[in-house]
Structure 1
Amino acid sequence: MTNDVYDVLIIGGGPIGLACGLEAKKAKLSYVILEKGCLVNSLYHYPANMTFFSTSERLEIGNVPFVSNNAKPTRAEALEYYRRVTTSFELNIRLFEKVTGVERQNGWFAVTSIKEQYKARHIIIATGFFDIPYKLKVPGEELAKVTHYYQDPHFYAFQDVVVVGAQNSAVDAALETWRKGARVTMIIRQEEVGKRVKYWVRPDIINRIKEGSIKAYFSSSITAIREREVDIATPDGPITLPNDWIIAMTGYEPNLAFLESVGVELSLDESRRPILHGKTQESSVSGIYLAGVICGGMDTHSLFIENSRIHAKRIISDVKRRRNEVK
């Protein structure tokens, strides 16, 4: 265990975790950021050619300008931006260091990672929601041909590809792999392509489906997966398709089990939102704060980088107030 007692320990090195680190540094608080993967790990796992819905200024943190070559920044530009912010401010971040436990001690918290144990007076949990995919829960889902993460379309050239879902990630995967020569079929539970699909992309996928370039089964679902085939339940009855790969863009959920393991209380309704006190972002556990999309619980589409950046300022302001009261 390190002997230092940090004022703030931040769990999660995504944009909001970095924003918390910037505010802590500005307030001259001692801090450390622990990230279980690479820097801005969730963004790294976005599709390689992804374009954000938001404009670059809405993705900025710490009042550092984000200059993009396009009206909508790309994944590559975002990775470069957050890396440069981290470097420029010399943020104290430890990568590939997953937190495995948090315990309250006498006046501080003991935080255990896979590499070290830390002491901290306050904890900020900014873990996002991109790590636990919703499973299909069908036979064969464990096969190597099934992925819940899509990155580059070239891999799927000239293959029979099934894309599950109808929101942004699924539509991007379907269009990009089709343009690289894949034979693409979309399996969509709803009756139409998702309403939240980027407005400049939605007409494209609708037209590709209408002309038959991309096959789509609406109000349908996968029932079984085999090495060379996939079974689908459709309104017209079951069908079997030849298949090489399945890209299951079924969405992701936050790690609420981790919140519960450290004592954070969740709402009893289906949203399972963490209970937060006022505008301080403090959870039901004194000294543990939440920042970013994790605050939305299962409602993962209510919070984004642009409307949760303010969490960093709220939290650090409250930490400073507490520190001054102790003095």
Structure 2
Amino acid sequence: MIKTDAIIIGAGPCGLSAAIELQRIGLDVILIEKGNIVNSIHRYPTHQTFFSSSMKLSIGNIPFITSKDKPQRNDALVYYRTVAELEQLMIHSDEIVQSVTKSGDAFCLESNKNTYEAKYVVAATGYYDQPNPLEVNGADLSHVHHYFKEAHPYFRKNVLVIGGKNSAVDAALELERAGANVTVVYRGASYSPSVKPWILPGFESLVNNGKIRMLFEAEVNEITEESVQIQTKTGVEIVKADAVFAMIGYHPDYVFLKSMGIELDTESRCPSYNPDTMETSVRNLYIAGVIAAGDNANSIFIENGRHHGEAIAQSILEKMNSQVCSNK
């Protein structure tokens, strides 16, 4: 059994930030990551540009310096690797936490590789590993994807993109530039207000000039090997599709959160926690990052989730100081 003061489940930006803050108050910390450091960012589209400035993506008061105001995916990968080196963070990568149980004042964590014991646990598991389901016939076909990496393989192919927010718009733009024949299906009546303001004019121009076909107030009924049946406001339409990208969002692993004893709101599925400390209803079990938002993933990003570690460290420090005082 490996014993440590604190374990953080997930080595994304918010998990890394929490680890830095806990180390700075004197705790021995281990991060357990099912992939590798900032695995979700690694899985972003190759040429992804962040909505936020590099300053708002920085953690641990370590500057994130880029030549452009808004960094790209590879800039972030380099930055977070550098932070991990500078702070000497202990990251156990390619390791999956299977259970977290509490006995007395300690937590026991079982992974596919090790058994751990720690007084404090922080769940910072993100949401990118759990795409929202596309509940139509054919959603499980091999050419239906919930993640978009790059557009080159779809040159001169018919591609259908489902969704109307940033991930869908970004994918559609990349696909059109690579020579794909792109159709976008969105159930909204107009463009989503969440779309990045600096890319919407270009996207609209492509739609208006027939380079991208945009279907508003439309939903997918069925997917086959060669086409997609779409319910539009004027009737049913069949669109040829060599590939389908269901860019319809992601959600936290609610089953895992509940297995640790964390209570979830029945409607929003937001975990029960103290927003001042990020401590859940299970004493000494904390959450950090987007999982605190439940289904409303658009309310927490790296730029505000990165501060959760500071609140967690302050909470634990107060407990440690209280314990010292009580022992005098």
Report the TM-score, using the length of structure 2 for normalisation: 0.96
Pick from 272, 279, 301 the counterpart of residue 275 of structure 1.
272
Give the % identical residues: 40
The 3-state SS of whatever aligns with 2:11 is coil
The 3-state SS of whatever aligns with 2:297 is coil
- Aligned residues of 1:224 and 1:232 also touching (Cα < 8 A): yes
The 3-state SS of whatever aligns with 1:20 is helix
| Alpha-carbon shift at residue 267 of structure 1 (Å) | 2.2
- Aligned residues of 1:193 and 1:206 also touching (Cα < 8 A): no
Q: Which has the larger displacement, 227-236 or 75-84?
A: 227-236
In structure 2, how many angstroms separate the alpha carbons of the residues matched to 1:240 and 1:310? 47
Deviation track 1:158-206 (CA, whole Å, cap 9, x = no partner) reads: 1000011111110011011111100000011111121111111011111
Deviation track 1:235-261 (CA, whole Å, cap 9, x = no partner) reads: 111111211000110100111221111
| 1:202 corresponds to 2:204 | no
**1:236-251 equivalence runs, <5 A:** 236-251=234-249
Pick from 297, 300, 303 the counterpart of residue 294 of structure 2.
297
**1:249-264 equivalence runs, <5 A:** 249-264=247-262
Q: Which has the larger displacement, 314-323 or 64-73?
A: 314-323
Structure 2 counterpart of 1:16: 14
| Alpha-carbon shift at residue 278 of structure 1 (Å) | 5.0
In structure 2, how many angstroms separate the alpha carbons of the residues matched to 1:259 and 1:285? 11
In structure 1, how many angstroms separate the alpha carbons of the residues matched to 2:113 and 2:321? 32
Deviation track 1:266-312 (CA, whole Å, cap 9, x = no partner) reads: 223x2221121251111000110111111111111111111122211
RMSD across aligned positions (CA) = 1.1
Structure 1 counterpart of 2:133: 135
Structure 2 counterpart of 1:74: 72
Task: Kindly tell me the number of residue pairs found equivalent between the two proteins.
Answer: 324
Match of 2:279, as an amino acid?
A: E
In structure 2, how many angstroms separate the alpha carbons of the residues matched to 1:113 and 1:122? 16
- Aligned residues of 1:161 and 1:184 also touching (Cα < 8 A): yes
Flag structure 1 segments of 5+ consecutive residues without an equivalent. none
Structure 1 runs of 4+ off > 6 angstroms? Answer: none
Flag structure 2 segments of 5+ consecutive residues without an equivalent. none
Structure 2 counterpart of 1:102: 100
In structure 1, how many angstroms separate the alpha carbons of the residues matched to 2:230 and 2:176? 20
Match of 1:302, as an amino acid?
A: S
Pick from 112, 115, 127 the counterpart of residue 113 of structure 2.
115
| 1:83 corresponds to 2:81 | yes
In structure 2, how many angstroms separate the alpha carbons of the residues matched to 1:7 and 1:198? 41
The 3-state SS of whatever aligns with 2:237 is strand
Structure 1 counterpart of 2:60: 62
**1:4-43 equivalence runs, <5 A:** 4=3, 6-43=4-41
Structure 1 counterpart of 2:322: 325
Match of 2:25, as an amino acid?
A: A
In structure 1, how many angstroms separate the alpha carbons of the residues matched to 2:34 and 2:196? 30
Match of 1:211, as an amino acid?
A: N
